[in-house]
Amino acid sequence: MSLLLLAFAQLTGSHHVPPNAPIMHTHQLLQKAKYLYNTHRYKEAYHLFAFSAFEENHVCREYRIKCLMAIGEWRTALQESKHMIRLYPTASQWYLVAADICLTSQQYRMSREILQESLSKVPYDDSYYADLSRLERVAYQGMLELDCAKCIDVLGVLPYDLILNIFGRLSLDSLVRATRVSRQWREYLINTPRLWHSLDFGSKNNFSLSIATINTYLGRLDGTPLTHLKIHHEQPDGDSILKAISLQASPRLHTLDLSELTCTPEMFSSLLSSVGSSLHTLRWGGIAIKLDDLMHSIANTCTSLKHLDIHDCFVASTALSHNSSNHNTITTNPLSPTNSTFASNLTSISAYSTLSINTLVLSGVYGLSPSYMAALLHRCPSLTRLELQRSVLGISHVLATLRTCCPSLKDLIYQSNRYYEPSRDFDDQQQIQQIQELQDLPNTDSLVLESTNLIHIPSSSSSSASSSSSSSSSSSSTLSSLPSTLPVLSVTSEDQPKKIKLGLGSGDHVPLREISLRKANGLTDAMVDLVLSESLGSLEVLDLYSAAGISDKALRQIISHDEQIVSQSTITAPLAALRQLTLHGCTGLSEQMILSILKRAPNLVHVDLSGLATVTDTILHYMANNSNNNMAALQTLDLSDCLSVTDSGVRSLVDSLSKGSLKELTLTDSSLCLDTLVYSACKIRKNPF
């Protein structure tokens, strides 16, 4: 230890820079950091030593570790030391630093392992080789003394409920390792069925999952119900594994998470028949089961299912799917009500049972057509959260469908597939025009959608009594077969149709709570205006990441809201519930619109304005002047690639927000000078440990 301190003192020197001296060069910045360290201002010194320009400086690295040790962050200091060991495996100084940290925190076993590694990699003629050998013996002696002091077994000291609570918090891997501690521990853990009710065979476990392994763990339940099961393994004999689970697992399984498993639809359906009645959450990923087969099995067996997550699979070719698998071959809008396929698809959902799920996640589902998506959502009338990740459907198709279904939807999360081409979509104004023109069409038996999302089924009139009777019976049969949870569709005469509201923009839709349209190619002002309608007061998350195609018109409702409430005695902010705002890459928004949003959102916590050239010092000055009002709750702010902000504006912002709740300020790829970046790093109280 003394040799380490002596070497450290020689490297640091004795030159100090007054605290108020201006920082001009990297050398002066290093001297200021050393001054902060020598005056025991360790956290501020750490921020400067962690500057990117010092990444290759060994002296700064050593200072960083010393700062971490001085403020009690032993674990982070050890991680820094191990990182340097990986970079320089033959440098003795980093082994000494890591061993000293472990010895100080009484981690003798880890210290001995580090020192043993050093003796095998550091050259024998190194000046510190003898010290490494001596510390290895010290660590071994400390390890022996510590083992003697900890000879008391917790199983004989702590109450049973407390021991059960402690072991119940361990993962499956940790629980298995705990059985190898001692015979007493193994006997206790294996004979406690309540500890094995949640089995997680994740992909991080690099072993072949055999039927014997499954039976071993299921056998430890001893009649106790299995509540959570996760298998992420590409097993060639998935049918045998599913059969073993269906035979031994009780019908009280709460969560089933299967991915990459090779099995047949029949065996998967058999498993759901055994455990599906109690399932609350189901996740499936893989090409072995098609989406259509999966939905058919779920509808017949999983009566209590609330959360459905499907990823990386294909859609089977059924009556609800388009015959063409290539979107480029579509010559008409598949969601247009004038398209006979769309109308027939919607009316055919009466043949399928209604699903009671509240959350639907579809990620990387290939072959998903607009008509299939429409039919699927119509089977989920109680849906409150919809996530479409890596979607092959355009955002216009999704929004057009949501205008006719899901009246209880609160969260809409969408991200397009990286290979999706917006040219496949159709203009939403054209869709609205087609819907409006549909009102003037002659009598038809198909389902009719109006531009205001009102649905009616006009009855056909005929001079023939037999044809009139046939039409009436056909309409009644269609209505009686619809699921009871869907909105009732009335058969009326054509001149006075009874209209029923549902879907986005209908007036009766539940206000949205989260809107996330990330990388939504083809997103227009009209689409954003549609999803924002009647949701401003309840909106908590607004994420328009990379929506370069929108302008101020997309968010005009935020401004018009103020005009509607001028006559009221009590005026509330239209975005009072908004907590997270992401406008990354929304280059069409003006500075005035961004400023208007910030003024009308007094409770923002996370704000992302990165990549916007319209963000100037005007916005920064507003945020600085309202650090105790609208910006009082702000915790993270991203100004990356905002090339229009200046050093003075950022300094003013930092001076005001650093006194509040701001924890993180991102200034990546900015045009700010080095002094401003260092100043911001020292002022913002982000805890990097």
Give the residue from 128, 148, 168 where a domain finishes.
148
Q: What is the CB neighbour count within 10 angstroms for residue 495?
A: 6
- Per-residue pLDDT reduced to its tens digit, 605-622: 999 999 999 999 999 999
Helix (H, G, I), strand (E, B) or coil at 49: helix
Q: Is 257 helix (H, G, I), strand (E, B) or coil?
A: strand
How many Cα atoms occupy the beta-carbon half-sphere of 629 within 13 Å? Answer: 10
pLDDT tens for 57-106 read: 677 888 888 888 888 888 888 888 888 888 888 888 888 888 888 888 88
pLDDT at res. 282: 94
Q: Percentage of the chain surpassing pLDDT 90?
A: 18
Task: Give me the pLDDT at residue 571, please.
Answer: 43
How many Cβ atoms are within 10 Å of 493's Cβ, its own excluded?
11
pLDDT at position 440 = 36
Residue 677: CATH number of its domain: 3.80.10.10
Per-residue model confidence (pLDDT) at position 659: 80
- Name 318's Cβ contacts closer than 8 Å, sequence gap at least 6: 292, 372
Pairwise CA distance, residues 171 & 149, whole Å:
28
What CATH number does the domain containing 28 carry? Answer: 1.25.40.10
Of 1-5, 373-377, 380-384, least confident by mean pLDDT is 1-5
| Cβ atoms within 10 Å of 373's Cβ, excluding its own | 25
How much is the pLDDT for 369? 84
Q: Where are the alpha helices (DSSP H) in 122-200?
A: 129-149, 160-168, 172-178, 183-190
Res 671: pLDDT: 87
Residue after which a domain boundary falls, among 148, 180, 205: 148
More confident: 316 or 448 = 316
In a domain, 137, yes or no: yes
At 446 the pLDDT is: 32
pLDDT value for 514: 94
Q: Is the pLDDT of residue 383 over 70?
A: yes
- Please determine, for residue 545, whether its predicted confidence score (pLDDT) is greater than 90: yes
Specify the pLDDT at position 307: 96
In a domain, 51, yes or no: yes
Q: Is 585 left (phi over 0), alpha (psi -120 to 50) or beta?
A: left
pLDDT in tens, 228-253: 999 888 776 788 888 888 877 666 88
Of 309-318, 493-502, 593-602, which gets the smallest average pLDDT? 493-502
Residue that is last in its domain, among 148, 170, 197: 148
> Which residue in this structure is represented by tokens 């003795």?
92
Count structural domains, the chain: 2
Candidate ranges 184-188, 334-338, 431-435, 506-510; pick with highest mean pLDDT: 184-188
User: Mean of the pLDDT values across residues 214-231?
Assistant: 85
Q: What is the C-alpha end-to-end distance of the chain, expressed in Å?
A: 25
* 473 vs 108 pLDDT, higher one: 108
For the cut 50, the answer to whether the pLDDT of residue 431 exceeds it is no
Q: How many CB atoms lie within 10 A of CB 267?
A: 18
Q: What is the mean pLDDT of the chain?
A: 75
Query: What would the mean pLDDT of 662-687 be, rounded to a whole number?
Result: 84
pLDDT band at 309 (very low <50, low <70, confident <90, very high): very high
> Could you tell me the residue range of the domain that residue 581 belongs to?
527-560+573-686
pLDDT above 90 for 414 = yes
Contacting residues for 480 by C-beta, under 8 A, at least 6 apart: none
State pLDDT tens for residues 31-64: 888 888 888 888 888 877 776 555 566 778 888 8
Question: Residue 413: how many CA atoms within 13 Å on its side-chain side?
Answer: 16
Neighbours of 53 (CB within 10 A): 12
pLDDT at 485: 32
Q: Is the pTM of this model over 0.75?
A: no
Q: Which value, in Å, is the radius of gyration of the alpha carbons in the chain?
A: 32
Predicted local distance difference test score (pLDDT) of residue 661? 82
Burial 186-197 (b: 16+ CB within 10 A, else e): eebbeebeebbb
Of 205-214, 306-315, 365-374, where does the model show the most confidence? 306-315
The structure tokens listed for 322 are 């388009």
Alpha helices in 39-91 (DSSP H): 42-49, 58-70, 74-87
678 has pLDDT over 50: yes
The lowest-confidence range among 383-387, 405-409, 478-482 is 478-482
Nearest one of 273, 313, 324, 275 to 296, comparing CA atoms: 273
| DSSP structural state of residue 502 | -
Residues facing 362 on adjacent strands: 310, 388
- In a domain, residue 553? The reply is yes
Decide if 475 is inside a domain: no
More confident residue, 506 or 11: 506
pLDDT at 424 over 50: no
pLDDT at 627 > cutoff 90: no
Task: Find the angle CA(228)-CA(229)-CA(234) to the nearest 5 degrees.
Answer: 160
DSSP string, 515-561: EEEET-TT--HHHHHHHHTTTTTT--EEE-TT-TT--GGGGHHHHHH
In a domain, 392, yes or no: no
What confidence category does residue 128 fall into, taking pLDDT thresholds of 50, 70 and 90?
Answer: confident
23 belongs to a structural domain: yes
pLDDT given for residue 381 in this prediction: 87
